[in-house]
Chain A
């Protein structure tokens, strides 16, 4: 069974701090690694994604770090804000994301305290 393991399950960060969420995968055929943000009652929304040919990608306050040899990738949220409080999911797929089958982690519930 293809699997993506995500940690921690929950995270509390003070406003202005750095939130770090980690994921590990097993299938070396994965070649597309997106992170999704989900607010209660809403569908997941793509935050940022990376392919294994780069080790880091930054978009605003969000950064993905990718370690191909360790089969791990992480999301860093800089200057965390209360509005970032949501559940974050890492995911992986084969075929550069075009295959359709995203394998999601179990999610991390982030709470940013003012």
Chain B
């Protein structure tokens, strides 16, 4: 499968716990994006990377959210001290910029905080 891969697909966690999601972009895509999608809403941009550099992180929802892409390949999104309001679908996308602006999305990780 050469698409964007996200793991896990589903995560249930207790309030206050930390969670980490992984995204493997399409091979050789230099751009990687994280979005959050709540029920009935469009995806909401969180952050993105150009290779290993995080170029935009002001949209991360709070300081409990952080993302890394240490080797310019896969990325992780961590949420510390989860709250019920963090329950959402977390989507990852990748693209090959500037040659191709199309962003390919993964199937997402659905987080439920109980």
- A residues lining the B interface (CB < 8 Å): 6, 32, 34, 36, 41-46, 49, 89, 91, 96-98, 100-107
Chain B interface mostly: strand
In this assembly, does B105 line the interface, its C-beta being within 8 Å of a C-beta of chain A?
yes
The answer to whether B42 and A89 have CB atoms under 8 Å apart is: yes
Inter-chain CA distance A36–B105, complex, in Å, is: 10
- B residues lining the A interface (CB < 8 Å): 4, 31, 33, 35, 40-45, 48, 55-56, 59, 91, 93, 95, 97-98, 101-108
The answer to whether B33 and A104 have CB atoms under 8 Å apart is: no
Q: List the B side residues contacting A98 at CB < 8 Å.
A: 97-98, 101
The answer to whether A100 and B42 have CB atoms under 8 Å apart is: no
In the complex formed, the residue of A with least CB distance to B105 is: A43
How many A-B contacts if CB must be within 8 Å?
A: 63
The answer to whether B33 and A44 have CB atoms under 8 Å apart is: no
The answer to whether B106 and A43 have CB atoms under 8 Å apart is: yes
Inter-chain CA distance A96–B43, complex, in Å, is: 19
The answer to whether B107 and A42 have CB atoms under 8 Å apart is: yes
The answer to whether A100 and B107 have CB atoms under 8 Å apart is: no
The answer to whether A43 and B4 have CB atoms under 8 Å apart is: yes
Q: List the A side residues contacting B44 at CB < 8 Å.
A: 104
Our pick among A45, A96, A101, A106 for the contact of B42 (Cβ within 8 Å) is A106
Inter-chain CA distance A50–B107, complex, in Å, is: 24
The answer to whether A107 and B4 have CB atoms under 8 Å apart is: no
Q: List the A side residues contacting B41 at CB < 8 Å.
A: 106-107
Inter-chain CA distance A96–B107, complex, in Å, is: 25
Q: List the B side residues contacting A91 at CB < 8 Å.
A: 42
Among B40, B43, B91, the one with the most A-chain Cβ atoms within 10 Å of its Cβ is: B43
Our pick among A41, A44, A96 for the contact of B91 (Cβ within 8 Å) is A44
